[in-house]
Structure 1
C-alpha cells in the first residue's frame, strides 16, 4: 500500500514537471545547450532569409527530445541540405565545437520551419 502511494506521488510530480516544461524555459547551462537558444539562432537565420526573397518563413520548435552538449563557439545556421532526406524544409543549427565531453565534438539540430500564409 505504501509503495503504491509513493508511485502515485512520484508520477504526479513527474507530470507536473513535464507540464511546466517549455522551449521558453529550456535554457543553456554549463553542460547542455538549451533548445531556446537553438531556436533563437534559427529565428535569426530565418529573419535574414525573409529579407532576401519572396518566400516568407516562420520558425517552429525543435524536437523536445534533443539534448546536446554546450557549444564552445557561436552557433551557425543554414538551410538543411535536401540530401539529408528531410521531407519538409528546416534550418540546421550547427555547433562546430562543443565544450569537451565524452559524447560528441560537434552537433547539428534541425529546426522545422513553415511557409507563412500569403496575405491578400
Structure 2
C-alpha cells in the first residue's frame, strides 16, 4: 500500500511539473502585458526600445535591446514611463537602459520603481 502511495505521489508530481513546463513554455515577454494592477514586461521592453531607437538615430553607436529580467514584477505605473541610460554609479556590469516609474498606482508594495533593461552593441 505504501508503495502505491509513493507511486501515486510520483505520478502526480510528474504531471504537475509537466503542466508547469507547458505553462512556462507558452509565456513570453510578448504575452506579459500590463493589467489593472501590474506593469507588463512587454511595455517596459518597448519603452526601452523607443529610447534606444532615439539613441541609435544619433548615429554614433548602435545598440540592440535585450530582455528584462523575467522575474521582475512591478505595480502598474500611474504616469508615463521615463527612460535614461543606467548611471555607472549603480554598479551594473553591463550597459542598460533604466525604465522608470515615478508614481505607481496605489499599492502596498512600492510607490515608484525602475527596471534595468540590458543592451548590447550591434555588430558592425
What is the match of residue 121 of structure 2? 115
- TM-score, normalized by length of structure 2? 0.91
The alignment partner of 1:99 has SS state of: coil
Q: 1:20, CA displacement in angstroms?
A: 1.1
Q: 1:53, CA displacement in angstroms?
A: 3.4
* Bigger-Rg structure (1/2): 2
Q: 1:80, CA displacement in angstroms?
A: 0.1
The alignment partner of 2:36 has SS state of: coil
Deviations 1:10-56 (A, max 9, x none): 11110101111111111111111100000000000000111113101
Deviations 1:54-110 (A, max 9, x none): 101110000001110111111110000000001111000000000110000000000
What is the match of residue 78 of structure 2? 72
State the 4+ residue runs in structure 1 displaced beyond 4 angstroms: none
Q: Which runs of 5+ in 2 are unaligned?
A: 1-6
User: Is residue 99 of structure 2 the alignment partner of residue 97 of structure 1?
Assistant: no
CA distance in 1, matches of 2:60, 2:87: 20
Q: Which runs of 5+ in 1 are unaligned?
A: none
What is the root-mean-square deviation of aligned Cα atoms in Å? 0.9
- TM-score, normalized by length of structure 1? 0.94
